[in-house]
Structures are given as C-alpha cells and as structure tokens.
C-alpha cells in the first residue's frame, strides 16, 4: 500500500472520528434549545425505549432519538427507566434526562383531601387528578387482606353486639384528610398507606388511651368522629355535638343523625325524605340504637378530638339555624320550639 493511499485512509478515519466526536459533543453537551421551556412527559408502564426516545425528541427534550437509544444501551440502563410523569426543561442534557428517568424523579402534585370526604369521594378526586383509578382505589380500600396488613383495627368480634353491625370492614374513616405529595399513576396501595400512616400519627396512643378510659373502642371513637364531622364544620360546636351524641348513647336514645341515614342510601339525590328516615338500613340511626356499623366519612383531627372530649352539658337535641350553626336543647319541648323557628319543614332530631 502506497504512502499516499495510507495517508488518505488516515485522513478519512480522522475525519470520521472528528465527525462522530462532534456529533457526540452536539448531542451530549449542547442543550436541545437555548430557550428554557418546561415540558411534561408521561412515561407509561411498559413503554418501550424507542417510544420513549421518540416522545422525548418530539417534545424537544433530546436532539436525536437514535443517539439517546444508543446512549441508554451502551450504559446498560435499558430496563431501568421508571414510569411516571416527568417535568423537564429544554436546556437539559441527555445524561441528566436519563439520570432522572432511572432514579424515577417524577413530578409530585400537592393534593388536598377535604375533611369529611367518603372513600368514594376520595377515589373520584384521585381519579380526576390522574393519581389513581377510582375502581382500583376502592378495591384496595375494601380488601380484607390489604386492610389487615395495615394493622389499623382491633379484632371486631367483641366490638359488635348485633347482626346489623357485622358488615364488611372498609377503610372508611381511616384515611386521614390532609395535603399530600402524590404522583400520577401511583399504585393504590401506596396512596392508601400514606393516608393510613397519617391517620395513625393523629389517632395515636393518647386518643387510644382516652377511648379506653371512656369505655369505647377506637373504632367506635372514629365512627362517632365521622358523624360529628358531617354534622358541623364549626370548631367550637364539635364538642357540643359530641356531647349530644354521648348523652343519647348513655340514655339509650337513638342518635337520629341525618348524615348516617344519607350514608346508607344508595344513589342519594340530595333530598332527604320521611321515607328515607323510615327505611331500615344499617345506618339508619332513627330506627336503630347506638352507632352505625362503620364510620360514614373520613374525619379530621378536631372531630376525632371532639369525639373523645365532649363538653359537660345536658343537651340531647340540636337543630340547624340555617347559617352553619346550631341551636342546642335539653328538652324535647325546647327542641320543638327551635325546630319551629329554624327548620320546621326539615326532618331533624
């Protein structure tokens, strides 16, 4: 081979090397855009690397899909990319993109679960925000095996006395309403464990001991707290509402709580009727003595505290004053006068 021919091959190889090196420099070290724009990328579970790279290229997160695939493959990260919702800016470098995808640095959302929401309402809220599907959420929230794994309940065999209270166990009442950092397309188990963990922090040893001193189980305390939560949103009224229900329980008077009746009605349309009050469901506290078989919503901290700290008053009745507050009465006669004044047309205790 002549010197001139070898020289040409050397120059060709050098040119190819420099060209390839410049491409690597262009791909690895120069951001896709000079403008820093935030882009949301959703990586679905099981999405193949090629589809991921196409999506990243289309959104301007990387310059070239083939180079990205080669980089991921060369670094041995092909099976390590995690699904989820990611937020990237268009000045990010591909190695930083890959690092985020491998570490699962997904976008987190602040989600507030309002006090007094039921499991169904929580499930719908989470589905609307694409955090988790409602059906999957409710399946886990009513799964006996999963519920048992959370260690939230004491054995209930000695807690219930009559057949109407031997219903299915659910997590109603035990998913604490708070603001959480969730990610989209979470596993329902993870969402529930976070909320149940927060419940355990709030309904801790002090409240459990207080319940024991009062002769009621934690489950009964949470059930009462859920009724208080539904009856009033006023902080100052919660201990009074609690007192009314404690007094009725002691005197073996039906609680006559409309929210419990409503909870037991399927597809409630918002209009509580006399027929509803006469319909025997396990949650009709107009017809049955004692607490309903389960909580009727997920109560907040103040309602839990109020359930175990009723004020010392003789009240047995209360009626809405139509301004968010209530009138409390000791006697049925006084209560009837208050009903006539405030709520004559509405069925109340």
pTM over 0.85: no
Do the Cβ atoms of 43 and 97 come closer than 8 Å? no
Do the Cβ atoms of 245 and 228 come closer than 8 Å? yes
Do the Cβ atoms of 138 and 129 come closer than 8 Å? no
At 86, phi and psi to the nearest 5?
-120, 150
Do the Cβ atoms of 303 and 202 come closer than 8 Å? no
- pLDDT the model gives residue 34: 65
- pLDDT the model gives residue 267: 85
- pLDDT the model gives residue 6: 63
Q: Of 283, 221, 227, 258, which is closest to residue 346 (Cα–Cα)?
A: 258
Domains observed in the chain: 36-106 (3.30.1490.480), 112-313 (no CATH)
Q: Of 200, 169, 208, which is closest to residue 294 (Cα–Cα)?
A: 169
- pLDDT the model gives residue 322: 87
- pLDDT the model gives residue 151: 86
Of the CA atoms within 13 Å of residue 308, those in its CB half-sphere come to 25
- pLDDT the model gives residue 349: 46
CA 72 to chain centre: 35
- pLDDT the model gives residue 31: 64
- pLDDT the model gives residue 160: 38
Q: In 10 A of CB 326, how many CB atoms?
A: 24
Do the Cβ atoms of 315 and 330 come closer than 8 Å? yes
Do the Cβ atoms of 36 and 59 come closer than 8 Å? no
- pLDDT the model gives residue 66: 82
Cα 283 from Cα 262, distance rounded (Å): 8
Do the Cβ atoms of 141 and 126 come closer than 8 Å? no
- pLDDT the model gives residue 269: 85
Pairing of strands 84-89, 108-112: unpaired
Do the Cβ atoms of 146 and 171 come closer than 8 Å? no
pLDDT in tens, the chain (349 residues): 555 666 566 556 655 555 454 555 445 556 666 677 888 888 888 899 999 999 998 998 988 888 888 888 888 888 889 888 899 988 888 888 888 999 988 988 999 999 999 999 999 999 999 999 999 999 999 999 999 999 885 543 333 344 344 446 799 999 999 999 999 888 999 999 999 999 999 999 999 999 999 999 999 999 999 999 999 999 999 999 999 999 999 999 999 999 999 999 988 888 888 899 889 999 999 999 999 999 999 999 999 999 999 999 999 999 999 888 999 999 999 999 988 888 764 444 4
- pLDDT the model gives residue 25: 46
């Amino acid at each position: 081979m002549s010197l001139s021919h070898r020289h040409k091959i050397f120059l060709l190889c050098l040119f190819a090397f420099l060209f390839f090196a410049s491409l690597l420099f262009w791909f690895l070290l120069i951001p896709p855009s000079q403008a820093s724009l935030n882009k949301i990328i959703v990586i679905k579970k099981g999405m193949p690397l090629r589809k991921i790279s196409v999506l990243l290229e289309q959104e301007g997160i990387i310059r070239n899909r083939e180079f990205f695939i080669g980089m991921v493959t060369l670094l041995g990260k092909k099976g390590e990319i995690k699904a989820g919702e990611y937020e990237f800016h268009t000045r990010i470098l591909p190695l930083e993109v890959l690092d985020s995808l491998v570490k699962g640095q997904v976008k987190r959302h602040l989600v507030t679960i309002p006090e007094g929401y039921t499991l169904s309402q929580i499930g719908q809220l989470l589905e609307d925000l694409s955090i988790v599907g409602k059906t999957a959420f409710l399946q886990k929230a009513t799964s006996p095996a999963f519920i048992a794994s959370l260690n939230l309940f004491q054995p209930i065999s000695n807690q219930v006395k009559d057949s109407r209270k031997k219903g299915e166990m659910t997590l109603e009442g035990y998913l604490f309403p708070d603001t959480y950092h969730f990610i989209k397309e979470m596993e329902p188990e993870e969402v529930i464990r976070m909320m149940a963990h927060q419940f355990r922090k709030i309904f801790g040893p002090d409240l459990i001991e207080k319940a024991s001193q009062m002769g009621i189980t934690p489950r009964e305390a949470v059930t009462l707290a859920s009724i208080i939560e539904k009856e009033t949103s006023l902080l100052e009224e919660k201990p009074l509402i609690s007192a009314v229900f404690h007094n009725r329980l002691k005197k073996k008077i039906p609680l006559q709580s409309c929210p419990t009746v409503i909870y037991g009605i399927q597809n409630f349309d918002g209009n509580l009727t006399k027929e509803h009050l006469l319909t025997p469901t396990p949650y009709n506290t107009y017809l049955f003595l004692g607490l309903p078989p389960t909580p009727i919503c997920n109560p907040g901290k103040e309602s839990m505290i109020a359930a175990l700290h009723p004020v010392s008053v003789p009240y047995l009745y209360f009626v809405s004053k139509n301004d968010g507050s209530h009138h409390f009465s000791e006697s049925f006669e006084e209560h009837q006068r208050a009903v006539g004044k405030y709520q004559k047309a509405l069925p109340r205790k």
